[in-house]
Chains A and B, each alone.
Chain A
Amino acid sequence: MNRLLAIVEREMRKFFRSPSLMVMSLISPILQLVIMGNAFGGKIVGTHVAVVDQDHGPQAVKVHEAFDAVAANIQTFSTIEYNNEVQAREDVRTGKIDAAVIIPPQYSRRVYAQDAPRIGIVVDNSDLFTSSTLESEMQSLVDSLNAPQVQDRLARSVALEVVELYPYVNYLKFLMPATVALSMYISVMIGGGILYLDDKARGVHEGYLVTPITKLELVFGLNIAGAIKAMLAGISLGVIGSLLAGLSVVFHPMQMLQLLALIVASSIAFNGMMFLFMVRVDDPLVPRAMFGVLNTLLFYPSGAMYPTTSFPKWLQALTIVDPFTYVIHGLKAVLLKNGGWIAIWQDLAFLSIFGIASLLVATPLFKRTL
C-alpha cells in the first residue's frame, strides 16, 4: 500500500510541479471547441458575388435590390457587377469571387409571362460551407421574389433569424459538456499516454522494477494517479466553465454531486481505456500519433457537436461503445437539462464498468519485467 501511494505521490508531485499538463488539458479543449464552433457553426459573412445582368428589365432590378438588402443587413455577401458571364465563371474558378449570379436575357419577360423564369448561380463547390450558405441564401431570396408583397419584410426577418440563432452565451453553454469531456480526455492522453511512455523510455520504470513493488501496486498506483489528474482537469473546467457560461450547477449541491460523480466515472473510463491502449507500447511516438486518430474516432461520433441519429450504421455502432458518448450524454443531462440521477445513472454505470473492465484486461498484459 505504501508503495502504491509512493507511485501516486511521485505522479502528483510531478503533475503540480510542471503545470504544462494541467494547462494543456484546460486550454486546448476550449481552443478546439471555440475554433471548431466558429468554423462550423458561425455564419459566413463578407463573401463576394458577381451579378451578370443580361436582362436589364424591371424584374432584374428587383433582384438587384434584394441583393443590396442582403449586403446591407446580414452581410453574407456583397455584389459586384459583371457584364461578361465567361469572365464571371472564370473568376469563381480562380477564387477571385465566391459565386456568380446570372440573370439571363428575357428574364423579366418570362416573369411577366409566368414562363418558368430562371436565375443561374455559379458556385465553387469545392468550398462546401461557403457554397451551401450562398446557395441557401439565394434560394430564400428567390423564394421572396416569388412573393413580392412580403419581400422586404422577409429579407429583414432572415437577417434577424441569423442573429438570434447564435447568441454568445447559449453557444458557450452548448459547448460546456464537450469542453469538460475533452479536458479529461486530453489529460489522460497526455498523462497516461505521452508522459507515461516518455517515462518508460527514459528508464523511470526500470528504476521502479528493481524495487520490490508488486505488479498490482504499480498498475493501480499509475492508474489512480492518472484518474486523479483527469478529475482535476474535469472539475476545474466544470466549475470555471459553468461560472463563465452562467450555468447555475455550482450553486446546487445535488447537481454538483451529480457532476462530480460523472467526472469521477469518466476519468476512470478514459484512464482505463488509455492504459489498455498503452500497456504493451514502448515507442513514445505511438501515443503522439494516436492522439489525433483517437480524438476523431471517439469525440466526433459522440454526439458532442452533431446529432448521431443521421450517422450510418457502422458509425452508430462505434457510438455505442464509445465512452465519450456517455460522458457527453451525462454532462448534457446534468449541465444543460438538470435531469437528475435518473437521467445519468446509465452513463455512470457504463463508464464505471468500462473503466474497470479495461483495467482488468490490461493488468495481465502489463509486464513486471522490462
Chain B
Amino acid sequence: MSAVSHPVMDHGHAPARPAAIAVEHIWKRYGDFEAVKDVNFSVAEGEIFGLLGPNGAGKSTLIRMMTTLIPVTAGKAVVGGHDVSRDPDDVRCAIGVIPQAMTSDPDLTVEENLSIYAKLYGVPRGAREKNISDVLDAVDLAKWRGAQTKTLSGGMRRRLEIARGLVHNPRIFFLDEPTTGLDPVSRIAVWEMLNKLKVTRNLTMLITTHYMEEADKLCDRIAIVDHGTLVALGTPVELKNSVAGANVVEVHFDRQDDAWQGRMESMDGVTSVVSEGGGFYRVITRSGSKTTMEIVELAARLGETLTSLSVQNTTLDDVFIHYTGRQLRDEQVKAVTFALPPRPGVRP
C-alpha cells in the first residue's frame, strides 16, 4: 500500500455560516478501549454532514455523545449552541434523533407513536395535532396515520421514525445509519425525503453511514471515520480530488505474484497499488490509458494471462482505501457472513 497522504483536514473550518454542531477534541473510552479518539469537526447550519466508516468505526459512539445519550470522556461537543455535558436538556430540545435501531413501537399506531413523542418533547397541546399532520405529510405517511406500526414495511417504519424525530420542529437532525437494512428502492426514497426535508425545514443534518453511495449522494461534506479517529474530511469532490491520480485501473491476473505490485507501483503516473488477493489489484494512476497499456505490455513480456482489466474514475471507495488502507466493502461482506449462518447451497 502506498503511503497515506494527509487528509483534507480543515478542522474548525466550515463555510462562513455559524456552526450548528462543533466537536472539539472529543474522546470516548470504555475501560481501556478507546472508541473515539480526539475527533474534531464542525457542521454549518443547513449542511448535511456525513460520518462515513465501517462497522465498529465509532460512528454511533460519536452520535451518542452529541445527542447526550452517553457521557463524553474528554473534550467537548456544542450542539445548537449548547454544551452537551453542561446543558443536555437544551440540546435535547434543539435536536431530533433517529437511533440506529428501529425504535418505533410496533404495538402502537403511527399517530400514537408520534403523539407520545410530541408529549415527551413538551409540544403544547394546541400544536400537537398540526405538527403530527405536518410531519406525516412530509414523510408521505398521512394515509397510514391510524395503521398499526407493526403492519408497516421497513422503509415506512424508517419514515415514521424520521417523522417522529421532527415532531417538535428541531433545527438539527441526527440520523444513525438511516438506511441500513432497507432495500435499494426504500433507500433511495429515504434519500429523496431527507433532501426535501433539508430544504423545506431548513434542517442541519448529521448522518452516519457505511454506504459510499449514500454519503456521496446525500452529504454536503463527509468525514471518514476509522478506528475511532477522523481520517479525512471534505466535500465528496474535494475528497475524490485529494486522492492523487484521477483514474483507477482494476486488473486481474490469472494468478497471484507478489512481484507485480512493485512493478506496477514503479510505473509512470501510478500513485498507489492495492492488492486484494487472488491476482486482483486496484491501481490508482494519473493516466488510465497509459497505465493500462503498460500493464498489458508487462503481462505480455512475462507471458502472464490477464483475466480482466478496467479503467474507472476515482470514487469514494478509492478515497476510503486511500485513507484507511482497507476497503469498506470488505467489512460489509464480513459483517453479513457473520450475521447469516451459512445455509446449504448459498455461498456468501
Inter-chain contact A207/B107, CB cutoff 8 Å: no
List of 10 A-B pairs having minimum Cβ-Cβ separation, nearest first: A6-B119, A203-B101, A207-B103, A211-B120, A210-B97, A203-B103, A212-B92, A14-B107, A212-B89, A206-B99
7 further contact pairs, Cβ within 8 A, besides A206-B69, A211-B120, A212-B92: A3-B119, A5-B119, A10-B116, A14-B108, A202-B101, A210-B67, A370-B69
**Complex interface residues of chain B between 49 and 101 (CB less than 8 A to chain A):** 64, 67-71, 89, 92-93, 95, 97, 99-101
Q: B105 an interface residue at 8 Å Cβ cutoff?
A: yes
What is the interface size of chain B, counting residues whose CB is below 8 A from a CB of the partner?
28
Q: B260 an interface residue at 8 Å Cβ cutoff?
A: no
Assembled-state Cα–Cα distance A210/B71 (Å): 13
Inter-chain contact A6/B107, CB cutoff 8 Å: no
Inter-chain contact A213/B99, CB cutoff 8 Å: no
Knowing A13-B108, A18-B107, A207-B99 touch, does A369 contact B71 (C-beta < 8 A)? yes
Knowing A6-B119, A9-B116, A13-B107 touch, does A209 contact B69 (C-beta < 8 A)? yes
For A9, what are the chain B residues with a Cβ–Cβ distance below 8 Å?
116, 119
For B89, what are the chain A residues with a Cβ–Cβ distance below 8 Å?
212
**Complex interface residues of chain B between 110 and 139 (CB less than 8 A to chain A):** 112, 116-117, 119-122
Q: B298 an interface residue at 8 Å Cβ cutoff?
A: no
For B120, what are the chain A residues with a Cβ–Cβ distance below 8 Å?
3, 6-7, 208, 211-213
Inter-chain contact B107/A369, CB cutoff 8 Å: no
CB pairs A–B below 8 angstroms (27 shown): A6-B116, A6-B119, A7-B120, A9-B116, A10-B112, A10-B116, A13-B108, A13-B112, A14-B105, A18-B107, A203-B101, A204-B105, A206-B99, A206-B103, A207-B117, A207-B164, A208-B120, A210-B69, A210-B92, A210-B95, A210-B99, A212-B120, A212-B121, A369-B69, A369-B70, A370-B69, A370-B70
Assembled-state Cα–Cα distance A249/B107 (Å): 36
User: Which single residue of chain B is at the shortest CB-CB distance from A6?
Assistant: B119
Which applies to chain B's interface (DSSP): helix, strand, loop or mixed? loop
Knowing A13-B107, A369-B71, A370-B64 touch, does A203 contact B102 (C-beta < 8 A)? yes
User: Which single residue of chain B is at the shortest CB-CB distance from A214?
Assistant: B89
Inter-chain contact A211/B107, CB cutoff 8 Å: no
Assembled-state Cα–Cα distance A64/B291 (Å): 109
Q: A17 an interface residue at 8 Å Cβ cutoff?
A: yes
**Complex interface residues of chain A between 170 and 214 (CB less than 8 A to chain B):** 202-204, 206-213
For A212, what are the chain B residues with a Cβ–Cβ distance below 8 Å?
89, 92-93, 120-122
**Complex interface residues of chain A between 1 and 59 (CB less than 8 A to chain B):** 2-3, 5-7, 9-10, 13-14, 17-18
Which among A5, A10, A13, A211 has the highest number of chain B CB atoms within 10 Å? A211
Assembled-state Cα–Cα distance A18/B150 (Å): 12
For B119, what are the chain A residues with a Cβ–Cβ distance below 8 Å?
2-3, 5-6, 9
Question: Beta-carbon contacts of A358-370 to B below 8 Å, as 1s and 0s?
Answer: 0000000000011
For A14, what are the chain B residues with a Cβ–Cβ distance below 8 Å?
105, 107-108
Inter-chain contact A17/B70, CB cutoff 8 Å: no
For A207, what are the chain B residues with a Cβ–Cβ distance below 8 Å?
99, 103-104, 117, 164
Knowing A5-B119, A202-B101 touch, does A210 contact B68 (C-beta < 8 A)? yes
For B104, what are the chain A residues with a Cβ–Cβ distance below 8 Å?
207
Q: Distance in Å from the Cβ of A198 to the closest Cβ of chain B?
A: 11
For A13, what are the chain B residues with a Cβ–Cβ distance below 8 Å?
107-108, 112
Q: Distance in Å from the Cβ of B177 to the closest Cβ of chain A?
A: 12
For A7, what are the chain B residues with a Cβ–Cβ distance below 8 Å?
120
For A3, what are the chain B residues with a Cβ–Cβ distance below 8 Å?
119-120, 122
For B121, what are the chain A residues with a Cβ–Cβ distance below 8 Å?
211-212
User: Which single residue of chain A is at the shortest CB-CB distance from B121?
Assistant: A211
Q: Distance in Å from the Cβ of B50 to the closest Cβ of chain A?
A: 20
Pick from A10, A202, A211: contact of B92, CB under 8 Å:
A211
Inter-chain contact A202/B70, CB cutoff 8 Å: no
For A208, what are the chain B residues with a Cβ–Cβ distance below 8 Å?
120
